[in-house]
Structure 1
Amino acid sequence: MATVLVIGASRGIGLEFARQYAAEGARVIATARSDDGLARLQAVGAQALRLDVTDASSVSGLGWQLDGEKLDVALYVAGVYSTDGATVPPAREAFDRVMHANVLGAMQLIPVVAPLVEAAQGRFGFISSQMGCIGTTRSSYGWVYRTSKAALNMVVAAAAHDYPRAVLLALSPGWVRTDMGGPSAPLDVSQSVSALRATLAAAGPAQRGAFLDYDGRRFESW
């Protein structure tokens, strides 16, 4: 039985990852910050753990709870969105909130989780965004969010060198109908997650540190 960890799974893409993997018989460990989020995870059959990715002590606690695990798949889905463009300077509090969740949280969790993925020679995916692709940028909309996802892509590319027996990669889920993506997005959550799972399953050593679209295509211009 495969063991899967989903970090940031209280709703949307993270919750759907937990649901799909559990439905296929995997042992799913998933995290959320709130009681409501933990209850939703338990309802889909996941082992629910409380985690705030912006809290170093919470991250340390997760490491203790995962001690001895071998993770076939790990996913960092936690993230915060912002919409302001470059005509307005970001407030420090808003900047810190996005960067702590989207970048620092991943950097704190990699040394905790990646060795457990290596132990299973598994895959560790980080949900990024096409908005973090520098080469295709066409506006400043969401510039703090864009910056955080570009930074996350670098985090993954750099960290991949330290964990050669695991496949670490950044993944864009596409434009998805979630609270973040809005009702006009062309992909529903189940379509995106199904495609992302297939991309993860197919990923091998050649994809270490890569930035891939949900359907497996590589972003050549980051």
Structure 2
Amino acid sequence: MSNVLIIGASRGLGLEFARQYVAAGDRVLATARDAAGRERLQALGVENVLTVDVANPASVSGLAWMLDGEKIDTAIYVAGVMGHGTALSPPTQDEFDRVMHTNVLGAMQAIPQVAPLVEAAQGRFAFISSELGRIGGATGSHTWLYRVSKAALNMAVASAQHDYPKATLVALHPGWVQTDMGGEQAPLTAPESVAAMRATLARLTPAQKGQFLQRDGTPCASW
């Protein structure tokens, strides 16, 4: 049995990660930002549901004491929101803060609190990213704020890896998935995507530290 922490688990991919890890017999700790999310996770059998809003720096700052004494074999930062618009107009301050706080600042706050616990287990810390964050893969400026946030997240992961050598940090592209964010037209279901990512996490090697990977573990070029 492994200790698994899922940050941002109240819906979508995070909820599916929780469901699959609980079904596999692992001890799951998860975060949700509201009562409805907590109830969904508790109904799955998640052992410890923590109330954390990753978009709120004061809320994320409490992770360390909530997890005091834990060793985490697998941590996954799933929390993320979409940012729309194109380069034809700038994002508003509120929209910029909403997307960057959730997708980037939340992860950067979580790393120094959670990565030492992952190091204690010589485990893995994954961050759900997107191929839309590949600079060389930019085919247009649609969802440009979201693209910028995921490019920043990839850099945060690659940089942080150097400070936590006993852990394996990776960014993962889950594919285009049928979630609230991905839409019904997406070709992948959440169970399919999560099952592939779980398999990839289980077989990570030291050579993959700091990398940006597809859900099947193949490299996803960051440029």
Q: Give the TM-score taking structure 2 as reference length.
A: 0.98
Aligned mates of 2:27, 2:211 — CA distance in 1: 27
Q: Which residue of 2 aligns with 1:19?
A: 19
Q: Which residue of 2 aligns with 1:3?
A: 3
Aligned mates of 1:168, 1:186 — CA distance in 2: 27
Q: Which residue of 2 aligns with 1:114?
A: 115
Kindly state the Cα deviation for residue 33 of structure 1 after the two structures are TM-superposed: 0.4
Unaligned residue ranges in structure 2 (runs of 5+): none
Kindly state the Cα deviation for residue 60 of structure 1 after the two structures are TM-superposed: 2.7
Kindly state the Cα deviation for residue 154 of structure 1 after the two structures are TM-superposed: 0.1
3-state DSSP class of the match of 1:124? strand
Percent of aligned positions with the same letter in both sequences? 64
Asked if 1 retains the 8 angstrom alpha-carbon contact of 2:56 and 2:101, the reply is no
1:54 aligns with 2:38: no
Instruction: Look up the equivalent residue of 1:21 and give its one-letter code.
Output: Y
Instruction: Look up the equivalent residue of 2:95 and give its one-letter code.
Output: A
Aligned mates of 2:187, 2:107 — CA distance in 1: 28
Q: Which residue of 1 aligns with 2:131?
A: 130
Q: Which residue of 2 aligns with 1:199?
A: 200
Superposed, which structure 2 residues align to 1:93-104 within 5 Å? 93-104=94-105
Asked if 1 retains the 8 angstrom alpha-carbon contact of 2:61 and 2:109, the reply is no
3-state DSSP class of the match of 1:69? coil
Aligned mates of 2:55, 2:139 — CA distance in 1: 30
Instruction: Look up the equivalent residue of 2:159 and give its one-letter code.
Output: A
The structure 1 segments of at least 4 consecutive aligned residues displaced by more than 4 Å after TM superposition are none
Instruction: Look up the equivalent residue of 1:178 and give its one-letter code.
Output: T
Aligned mates of 1:49, 1:174 — CA distance in 2: 27
Instruction: Look up the equivalent residue of 2:111 and give its one-letter code.
Output: I
Instruction: Look up the equivalent residue of 2:21 and give its one-letter code.
Output: Y
3-state DSSP class of the match of 1:78? coil
Kindly state the Cα deviation for residue 221 of structure 1 after the two structures are TM-superposed: 4.3
Q: Which residue of 1 aligns with 2:72?
A: 71
Kindly state the Cα deviation for residue 129 of structure 1 after the two structures are TM-superposed: 0.3
Asked if 1 retains the 8 angstrom alpha-carbon contact of 2:168 and 2:208, the reply is yes
Q: Which residue of 2 aligns with 1:32?
A: 32
Q: CA RMSD in A?
A: 0.8
Kindly state the Cα deviation for residue 204 of structure 1 after the two structures are TM-superposed: 1.3
Kindly state the Cα deviation for residue 68 of structure 1 after the two structures are TM-superposed: 0.8
Aligned mates of 1:99, 1:221 — CA distance in 2: 19
Aligned mates of 1:116, 1:134 — CA distance in 2: 32
Q: Which residue of 1 aligns with 2:163?
A: 162
Unaligned residue ranges in structure 1 (runs of 5+): none
Q: Which residue of 1 aligns with 2:177?
A: 176
Q: Which residue of 1 aligns with 2:152?
A: 151
Aligned mates of 2:70, 2:219 — CA distance in 1: 30
Change (3 A) 1:221 1:170: closer
Aligned mates of 2:84, 2:55 — CA distance in 1: 20
Asked if 1 retains the 8 angstrom alpha-carbon contact of 2:171 and 2:211, the reply is yes
Aligned mates of 1:40, 1:12 — CA distance in 2: 11
Q: Which residue of 1 aligns with 2:42?
A: 42
Aligned mates of 1:82, 1:129 — CA distance in 2: 13
